[in-house]
Amino acid sequence: MTTKKTILIVDDDQDYLYQLKARVESFGFQTLLAESQKEAEELILKTKPDLAILDLMMENEDSGFILCYKMKKKYPEVPIIIATGVAAETGISFDINDENNRKWIKADLFLEKGIRKEKLKEEIDNLLIKMNS
Amino acid sequence: MSTLKILVIDDEPGIRSGISRILRNFRVDYPFMEEAFDFVVQEASTGEAGIELIETDKPDILLLDNKLPGIQGVEVLEYIRKKQMNIIVVMITSYASLELAVKATSDGAYDFIPKPFTPQELKSSIENITKRVFLKKMTNKLQETGKQIRFQFLSVLSHELKAPLNSIEGYLQMIRERQAGPQLESYDYMVDRMLERIKGMRTLILDLLDLTKVTSGKGTRDIREINLVDIAHTAIDTMRPYSIQKDIKLNLHGNDVVKVMADNEEMEIIFNNLISNAIKYNREGGTVDCTISEDGSCVEILVEDTGIGINPEDLNKIFDDFVRIKSEKTRNITGSGLGLAIVKKLIDTYKGTIEVTSQPDIGSKFKVKLPIDKPCS
Ligand SMILES: Nc1ncnc2c1ncn2[C@@H]1O[C@H](COP(=O)(O)OP(=O)(O)O)[C@@H](O)[C@H]1O
Ligand SMILES: [Mg+2]
């Protein structure tokens, strides 16, 4: 029997959290939820997820980065997706594949919040495979 | 390599030279930073000399003793805050004045180092700050590339308007796909959440209307002598059903007539916001006391509640546009975060003041002062 992989989802919008949880669970994963950077930090003390999806702006505008940094320090092998609505609102877009950005944003992937369901599943699967190989 | 400028203001030469020595060859380097940081240290023995250096040299970090021969550390802090300078301040204080240091923290100091400190304590504090400076730089850079629109009102507004739409859209899609199965009741939660988000949006729109009144102002303003007590009564009556629901007692104290030269509608906005907050952020069975009095050339409006209170570090944020304090206690309370911003803007146009004092879990007290007969600008 294979146990389900656990995905940590952190977002301060409780509705987005609920919807993403439902979606991710429909892919066959287990979820772990936190509504703030602080809550997430407490959670990861005790539990190690297989992958994390973090919102960029929570209690502070850089919460997602800081959380990402802390997670990578504790669990360097756990892949992290940073989900953001930023690009849509401000025209800022990150390119995680850009070497410069990679150096300081230790996330494995940046995703737009409005991403299609199939695409999300594909990205999660890819990251999990990459990390396990 | 980047170099951060540190200014030490302390009247003890030993401390100053100690800090300079400890930080001379210190360097902060994190794997997630693209560059390492080192430091240059400048020294001043008085607050006055320090302020001069702040003006000429614009340090990034200030290590500030509170007990100084002339002006005190907190006054330097105040100076920096008033001028809205981008300097991270760390208070150096002895344990005896820890309380003061805590207060300073809420006044804008980032951290404090207790005196005496070990080189390691100083280094780790500087390390934290450097991380902070770096992230600030990074986020600033992001904002610049976004043509700095994020902090402009409209972009925040569009975010605030889109968030509920996205959330409602998400739920509707889940319902369309029958994600919770055939049972209608399984969708109750989603429907409740959608209604809640719609309610939030409606509040936002109403608040925006109030806000346009403030900013477009003048032309439609009708300044005349009005009785504030009447307005308070109206506000309390409007709010009554809401307070009954939460079992909150609403009391109005003071004289029956307190006159002021002002616009009726604007005064209503002030009362509505302060009283509705006092109910919203109250506990079940709590009390709201509103007191209106005259004090020389001013009228004073006090709105006190017995609610959840506000943490010291949040106190000066709550008057900014769209700021809402997120915590377990405020989780299920809707709002736009514009109410107090509107109130503050209105009061400013009357050259009045608003102050807040608050104790978490005990209550908050908002005090408004308005000049009786000189509405300006
Ligand atoms: N009486 C109060 N007690 C506790 N917190 C308050 C009170 N009034 C305001 N606040 C805090 O300040 C924030 C901003 O208030 P406001 O601008 O009126 O926005 P809103 O009520 O729409 O959230 C609130 O979200 C709340 O966290
Ligand atoms: Mg309000």
Q: Is the pLDDT of residue B209 over 50?
A: yes
Of B117, B152, B182, at which residue does a domain stop?
Answer: B117
The answer to whether B281 touches B314, Cβ cutoff 8 Å, is: no
Please check whether residue A74 lies inside any domain of the structure: yes
> Residues near B24 by Cβ (< 8 Å), separated by ≥ 6?
B41
Residues B241-269 have pLDDT tens digits of 888 888 999 999 999 999 999 999 899 99
Q: Does B82 touch chain A (CB under 8 A)?
A: no
Q: Strand B27-28 to strand B37-44: parallel, antiparallel, or no bridges (unpaired)?
A: antiparallel
CATH number of the domain within which A82 lies = 3.40.50.2300
Please identify, by atom number, the ligand 1 atom nearest to the C-alpha of residue B319.
17
Copy the structure tokens of residue A110: 């940046």
Could you tell me if B229 and B375 lie in one domain?
yes
Please check whether residue B215 lies inside any domain of the structure: no
Nearest CA in chain B to A99: B34
Could you tell me if B361 and B234 lie in one domain?
yes
Please check whether residue B237 lies inside any domain of the structure: yes
The pLDDT, as a whole number, for residue B103 is 61
Please check whether residue B144 lies inside any domain of the structure: no
Q: Does A9 touch chain B (CB under 8 A)?
A: no
CATH number of the domain within which B266 lies = 3.30.565.10
- Mean pLDDT on B305-314: 94
CATH number of the domain within which B100 lies = 3.40.50.2300
Q: Does B178 touch chain A (CB under 8 A)?
A: no
Could you tell me if B230 and B377 lie in one domain?
yes
Please identify, by atom number, the ligand 1 atom nearest to the C-alpha of residue B327.
27
Residues spanned by the domain of B45: 2-117
Could you tell me if B374 and B229 lie in one domain?
yes
The pLDDT, as a whole number, for residue A3 is 83
Of B117, B148, B164, at which residue does a domain stop?
Answer: B117
- Mean pLDDT on B96-100: 57
The answer to whether B341 touches B320, Cβ cutoff 8 Å, is: yes
Q: Does B142 touch chain A (CB under 8 A)?
A: yes
Please check whether residue A126 lies inside any domain of the structure: yes
The pLDDT, as a whole number, for residue B318 is 94
Distance of CA B286 from the midpoint of ligand 1 (Å): 16
Please check whether residue B51 lies inside any domain of the structure: yes
Please check whether residue A1 lies inside any domain of the structure: no
> Residues near B100 by Cβ (< 8 Å), separated by ≥ 6?
B66, B74, B93
Nearest CA to ligand 1 atom 8: B277
- The partner residue sitting opposite B167, judged by closest CB among A13, A61, A106, is A13
For residue A98, which residues of chain B lie inside 8 Å, CB to CB?
none
Instruction: List beta partners, residue B210.
Output: none
Identify the weakest region by mean pLDDT among A25-39, A115-129, B98-112, B305-319: B98-112
- Mean pLDDT on B157-182: 88
The pLDDT, as a whole number, for residue B140 is 62
Please check whether residue A9 lies inside any domain of the structure: no
Which DSSP category does B108 fall into? T
Question: What does residue B20 show for φ and ψ, rounded to 5 degrees?
Answer: -55, -45
Residues spanned by the domain of A47: 18-91+100-132
The pLDDT, as a whole number, for residue A105 is 57
pTM: 0.62
Please check whether residue B306 lies inside any domain of the structure: yes
Q: Strand B298-305 to strand B353-359: parallel, antiparallel, or no bridges (unpaired)?
A: unpaired
Of B82, B117, B152, at which residue does a domain stop?
Answer: B117
The pLDDT, as a whole number, for residue B289 is 97
For residue A93, CA distances in Å to A9, A68, A111, A119, B145 come to: 22, 18, 10, 18, 9
The protein residues having their C-beta less than 5 angstroms from ligand 2 (an ion) are: B 277, 335, 339
Please check whether residue A37 lies inside any domain of the structure: yes
Burial class (CB in 10 A: 0-12, 13-18, 19+), A107: buried
CB pairs under 8 A between A and B: 71
**Ligand with the closest atom to the CA of B340:** 1
Domain count, chain B: 2
The pLDDT, as a whole number, for residue B241 is 82
The pLDDT, as a whole number, for residue A2 is 66
Residues B331-358 have pLDDT tens digits of 778 888 899 999 999 999 899 999 999 9
Q: Does B345 touch chain A (CB under 8 A)?
A: no
Copy the structure tokens of residue B242: 């809401």
Please check whether residue A123 lies inside any domain of the structure: yes
For residue B71, CA distances in Å to B51, B111, B112 come to: 10, 20, 19
Please check whether residue A70 lies inside any domain of the structure: yes
For residue A16, which residues of chain B lie inside 8 Å, CB to CB?
166-167, 170
